[in-house]
Amino acid sequence: MMDAGRHPRIELLTMSEVTDVHGYVGNFQATIKSRPRYVDPAKCTACNACTEACPLTAVDEFNAGLCSRKIAYRPFAQAVPNVYAIDKDGIPPCQTACPVEQRAQGYIALIREGLYEDALRVIREDNPFPSVCGRSCHHPCEGRCTRRYVDQPVSIMALKRFVTDHLHDLGWQPEVEPVPQTQEKRVAIIGSGPVGLTAAQDLVRNGYGVTVFEALPVAGGMMRVGIPEHRLPKAILQRDIDHILAQGVDLQLNSPISDPVALREQGYDAVLLATGVSKQTRLGIPGENLEGYLDGVKFLRDVSLEQPVEIGERVVVVGGGITAVDCATTAVRLGAKDVTLLYRRSRGELPVYKEDLTEAENEGVQLRDRTVATAILGDENGRVRGVEAVESKPTGRIDQTGARDLAVVEGTEFTLEADTVIRAVGQFADLSYLAPEYQSLAGDKETLQVTVGSEPALQGIFAHSGEIPGSGFVVNAIALGHQAAENIHCYLQGESLSAPPKTRPPETKWTREEAIAKARQKGIDSKPRVAARALPVSERAETFRETWLTYTEEQARTEAGRCLDCASCCECLRCVWACGPGAIDHRMTEQVREIEVGAVVLATGYELYDAAGIPQYGHGRYPNVLDGLEFERMTNVSGPTGGKILCADGGEPRSIAILHCIGSRDDNHKEYCSRLCCMYALKLAHLAKDFTSAEVYEFYIDLRAAGKGYEEFYRRVQEDGVKFIRGKATEIEPSNGRLLVRAEDTLIGEKIEVPVDMAVLITPMQPSAGAREVGQLVGVSVGKDGFFNELHPKLAPVNTSADGVFLAGCAQGVKDIPDTVAQASAAASKVIGLLAQGEVEIDPVTAHVIDERCSGCGECVLTCPYSAIALADGCAEVNEALCKGCGTCVGACVSHAIDVSHFEDEQLMAELVGMMNRPGELVLV
Residues 696-725 that bind other proteins (CB under 8 A): 707-710, 712-713
- How far apart CA 66 and CA 78 sit, in angstroms, is 19
457 versus 915: smaller Cβ distance to other proteins: 915
Q: How far apart are the first and last CA of the chain?
A: 72
- Among residue numbers 631 through 690, which ones bind other proteins (CB under 8 A)? 632-633, 635-636, 679-680, 682-683, 686-687
# chain residues binding other proteins, by CB under 8 A: 143
Q: Examine residue 500 and say whether the peptide bond preceding it is cis (omega within 30 degrees of 0).
A: no
Q: Give least dist CB 161 to other proteins, A.
A: 38
Q: Give least dist CB 658 to other proteins, A.
A: 14
**H, E, C per residue of 218-264:** CCCCHHHHCCCCCCCCHHHHHHHHHHHHCCCCEEECCCCCCCHHHHH
Is residue 67 a contact residue for other proteins (CB under 8 A)? no
Is residue 602 a contact residue for other proteins (CB under 8 A)? yes
- How far apart CA 738 and CA 725 sit, in angstroms, is 19
**Residue 294: exposed, middle, or buried by beta-carbon count in 10 A (0-12, 13-18, 19+)?**
buried
- How far apart CA 526 and CA 513 sit, in angstroms, is 14
- Binding segment for other proteins (CB under 8 A), chosen from 234-242, 489-497, 535-543, 766-774, is 766-774
DSSP summary character for residue 792: B
Is residue 609 a contact residue for other proteins (CB under 8 A)? no
15 versus 305: smaller Cβ distance to other proteins: 15
Q: Give least dist CB 485 to other proteins, A.
A: 36
| Residue choice 380, 781, 869, 872 for contact with other proteins (CB under 8 A) | 781
- How far apart CA 734 and CA 658 sit, in angstroms, is 16
Is residue 785 a contact residue for other proteins (CB under 8 A)? no
Is residue 920 a contact residue for other proteins (CB under 8 A)? no
37 versus 230: smaller Cβ distance to other proteins: 37
- Among residue numbers 350 through 379, which ones bind other proteins (CB under 8 A)? none
- Binding segment for other proteins (CB under 8 A), chosen from 134-142, 521-529, 652-660, 803-811, is 803-811
**H, E, C per residue of 303-361:** HHCCCCCCCCCEEEEECCCHHHHHHHHHHHHCCCCEEEEECCCCHHHCCCCHHHHHHHH
- Binding segment for other proteins (CB under 8 A), chosen from 71-79, 94-102, 302-310, 694-702, is 71-79
CA 576-578-584 angle, 5° bins: 30
315 versus 777: smaller Cβ distance to other proteins: 777
| Residue choice 514, 837, 851, 874 for contact with other proteins (CB under 8 A) | 837
- Among residue numbers 842 through 861, which ones bind other proteins (CB under 8 A)? 842-845, 859
- How far apart CA 575 and CA 84 sit, in angstroms, is 11
Query: Of the candidates 202, 72, 48, which has an alpha carbon nearest to the alpha carbon of residue 581?
Result: 48
- Among residue numbers 469 through 498, which ones bind other proteins (CB under 8 A)? none
872 versus 924: smaller Cβ distance to other proteins: 924
Is residue 338 a contact residue for other proteins (CB under 8 A)? no
- How far apart CA 739 and CA 732 sit, in angstroms, is 6
Fill in the amino acid letter for 721.
G
Q: Give least dist CB 709 to other proteins, A.
A: 4
Task: Map residues 556-595 to x or -, x wherever contact with other proteins holds by CB under 8 A.
Answer: ---------------------------------------x
| Residue choice 199, 311, 811, 878 for contact with other proteins (CB under 8 A) | 811
Q: Which alpha helices (H) appear in 739-816, and where do they start and end?
A: 771-778
- How far apart CA 691 and CA 760 sit, in angstroms, is 15
- How far apart CA 535 and CA 233 sit, in angstroms, is 14
DSSP 805-820: EEE-GGGTS---HHHH
- Among residue numbers 33 through 62, which ones bind other proteins (CB under 8 A)? 37, 62
Fill in the amino acid letter for 888.
T
- Among residue numbers 859 through 918, which ones bind other proteins (CB under 8 A)? 859, 862-863, 865-866, 880-881, 884-888, 890-894, 900-918
Query: Of the candidates 259, 175, 244, 176, which has an alpha carbon nearest to the alpha carbon of residue 210?
Result: 244
307 versus 638: smaller Cβ distance to other proteins: 638
1 versus 872: smaller Cβ distance to other proteins: 1
Q: Give least dist CB 597 to other proteins, A.
A: 4
